[in-house]
Structure 1
Amino acid sequence: MKKNKLSKLRKREEKWFYILISPWVLGFLGITLGPMLFSLYTSFTSWNGISTPKFIGITNYITMFTQDDQFLSSLWLTFKYVLIAVPTSLVFALLLAVLLSRDVRGSGFFQALYYFPSIVAGTSIFIVWKYMFDPTTGVINYLLSLLGIDGPGWLASTEWAMPALIIMNLFFCGQQMLIFIAGIKQVPVSYYEAAEIDGAGPVVSFFKITLPMLVPLIAFNLIMNMIGSIQVFSQSFVMTGGGPAKSTYFYVYYLYDTAFRYSDFSYASAMSWVMFLIIFLLSMLVLKMSKNASE
């Protein structure tokens, strides 16, 4: 009797399990996996989004790497942004986490303060930053003038447009900061006490205890930050329009224009799959390196 009751209960649980997950499964198949597979197919076709796709093989991919200078230019520009924005943001978030992880008065307020931009990040905040970076009326150049520094042209300058976006990116590392704080608070206090008995100072304890314990979290934040940076678009779209002189015309911006401005959806699909492959390979590389570092 007990076995029959357990069997019925298990079947009932299984039935409700499949019922409850079915909305997510249907959504994943219809909204995520379906469009992904369709974009993979269209990447091997010539398609303007209206007519019937015409199969052309790997022509889009060949054109991309052999004839499209803008593809290579935007890809290299994006890599430059990633190589600078990701490490600086990661280090800044870790520094804030170390400072704000201490149980002192006001630490919770500053944690919320630094996390707030991560919540409201979007078109509105990018417009605010655009006005802040204005070379003539912006508050940043005004503050620099108080120090006797003649501020640069920022978003109006081909040399300073990308550095401006990288500087702005530092103020959106609140989520990484909170993850680091959670990891730091999980490090046993006994480790630091033992290190202090051995004569290790705060700096040595950080590099010998804290940092090695945070390797998995560093890898996670690095991957998530890298994925977001490779897909950078809204900042340049809202603040610079890809300029000046295409100095912030990133890869996804070019992909967007290819699809919605030039109506070449097949070529844009091919570009998106190249980006997917790049993100996948870089993520695997980071995971491999973090695994070796933690061993």
Structure 2
Amino acid sequence: MKLYTNIFCGNLVKQTWRDGWTEDPGHGNENILEENITMKQHSLSQIERIQGWLFCLPWIIGFLLFTVGPMVYSLFLSFTDYDMFNKAQWIGLANYQKIFSRDILVPVGVRTTVLFTLFSVPLNLIGGLALGLLLNHKIKGISTFRTVFYIPAVVPYVACLLMWQLVYNQNFGLLNAILAKFGVTGPNWLGDPKWALSSLVIISFWGVGRDMLIYLGGLQGIPTEYYEAADIDGASRWRKIMNITLPLLLPIIAYTSILGIITSLQAYNTAYILTAGGPANSTYFYMLHVFFKAFEDYQMGYSSALSWLLFIVTLGLTFLAFALFRRKSNEA
């Protein structure tokens, strides 16, 4: 049996034979060298693959235990009558039949959520893009302005809501105090059904700095040569935005729009803290209904059915938005 040792030094491969080496190794020894290198490369790739899976294993275990597992269990619960204290009883599609026929608060929650989505998503999209365009300039102190607009996005959300509760206060709130300076009597922002939902839409704009930062990154990734060529052709600023900026930002616009839709469809914490769904159910979101059914009425099976219905709708809207943006991108 021939024993040989491979010594790797950069691109230099030196092979020595302890016995059986000939003065002219010939083609046979070259084949042995190539096979040996291939075997070592294959062995290294196998080791790297195993190491990669081992590094991913903690996340995979956590994902299966804390995400996939609860989702599968909630799907099972959606076909049962379960209140957390007694054994789950299989009732088939009764929970889903109740959603579409007997629960009068479901249409209320759907209507409120849809209205909130229709106003908050475009507001944050346009506001984030506008701020990104304004702050995409190399002027003195621009970093300070960017920081100021981004800070609200990192402040704890509950603290922000408590601050807004003071701002909207009918008697000594900052907003009504400003309106009083102009002789206008401010309404009861969170206590009047006509103004409550609009007030929550305004609060959703508080975190626009997050979208602004995403748009700013996309704007700075657009080559300046495109704008220089447009300047040579005499294009106005508006034409440059419409023909250069927006088409190149389309993937980022798609990302922020889809993320905004998903977030707004799942909105409930703002209403839960500030209005508890009132007044007169004007801020009664669909997810708030899910929360109340689960943790106040302890109808875990019915709440799971409500959650899965929202998941299916959200998934369908996400795929639809992806298809529309992909089609628009191909046309551009």
TM-score (norm 1): 0.97
User: Matched residues in 1 for 2:256 and 2:215: separation?
Assistant: 9
Q: CA deviation at 1:220?
A: 0.3
Tell me the CA shift for residue 8 of structure 1: 2.7
Matches within 5 A, 1:168-207: 168-207=203-242
Q: Report the alpha carbon displacement of residue 205 of structure 1 after superposing the two structures with TM.
A: 0.8
Q: Which amino acid aligns with 1:103?
A: K
- In structure 1, give the amino acid aligned to 2:267: V
CA contact (8 A) 2:108 2:281 kept: no
Q: Which residue is equivalent to 1:85?
A: 120
Amino acid at match of 1:46: D
Gaps of 5+ in 2: 1-35
Aligned match of 2:293: 258
In structure 2, C-alpha distance between the alignment counterparts of 1:214 and 1:52, rounded to whole Å: 52
Corresponding residue for 2:249? 214
Structure having the higher helix fraction is: 1
Q: CA deviation at 1:166?
A: 0.7
Paired residue for 2:17?
none
Residues 121 and 172 of structure 1 are in contact (CA less than 8 Å); yes or no, is this contact kept in structure 2?
no
- The offset of 1:292, in angstroms, is 1.2
Aligned twin of 1:275: 310
Aligned partner of 1:245 in structure 2 is 280
**1:180 and 1:217 in contact (8 A); partners too:** yes
| Structure 1, 30-39 or 65-74: larger mean CA deviation | 65-74
What per-residue deviation string (whole Å, max 9, x for no partner) do you get for residues 218-241 of structure 1?
Answer: 010001111111111111111111
Q: Deviations along 1:226-281, whole A, 9 cap, x unmatched?
A: 11111111111111111112211111111000001001000000000111111111
* Alpha-carbon shift at residue 6 of structure 1 (Å): 1.9
Scaled by the length of structure 2, what TM-score is found?
0.86
Match of 1:287 in 2: 322
Equivalent residue number for residue 7 of structure 1: 42
Aligned-residue offset at 1:125: 1.3
Measured after TM superposition, the shift of residue 5 of structure 1 is 2.4
1:48 equivalent in structure 2: 83
Matched to 1:226, the amino acid is I
Computed over aligned residues only, the root mean square deviation of the Cα atoms, in angstroms, reads: 1.2
Check if 1:118 corresponds to 2:118. Answer: no
Q: 1:121 to 1:166 in 2, by over 3 A?
A: farther
1-side partners of 2:138 and 2:54: how far apart? 45
Match of 1:24 in 2: 59
2:208 paired with 1:149: no
Distance apart, 1:122 and its partner CA: 1.7
Q: Tell me which stretches of 4 or more aligned residues in structure 1 moved more than 4 Å.
A: none
CA distance in 1, matches of 2:287, 2:53: 37
Q: Which protein has the larger Cα radius of gyration, Structure 1 or Structure 2? A: 2
Deviates more, 1:49-58 or 1:260-269: 49-58
Equivalent position SS for 1:210: helix
Matched to 1:259, the amino acid is A
- Superposition deviation, residue 145 in structure 1: 1.8
In the TM superposition, residue 7 of structure 1 has moved relative to its aligned partner by 2.7
Distance in structure 2 (CA, Å) of the matches to 1:267 and 1:135: 38
The yes-or-no answer on 1:35 pairing with 2:39 is no
> Structure 1 regions of 5+ residues with no counterpart?
none
* Residue-by-residue CA offset, 1:62-112 (whole Å, 9 max, x unaligned): 110111110111111111100111111110111100000111122211212
Q: Deviations over 1:170-203 (max 9, x none)?
A: 1111111111111111111111122122221101
Which one is further off, 143-152 or 28-37? 143-152
Distance of 2:135 and 2:176 partners within structure 1: 29
Aligned-partner SS, 1:154: coil
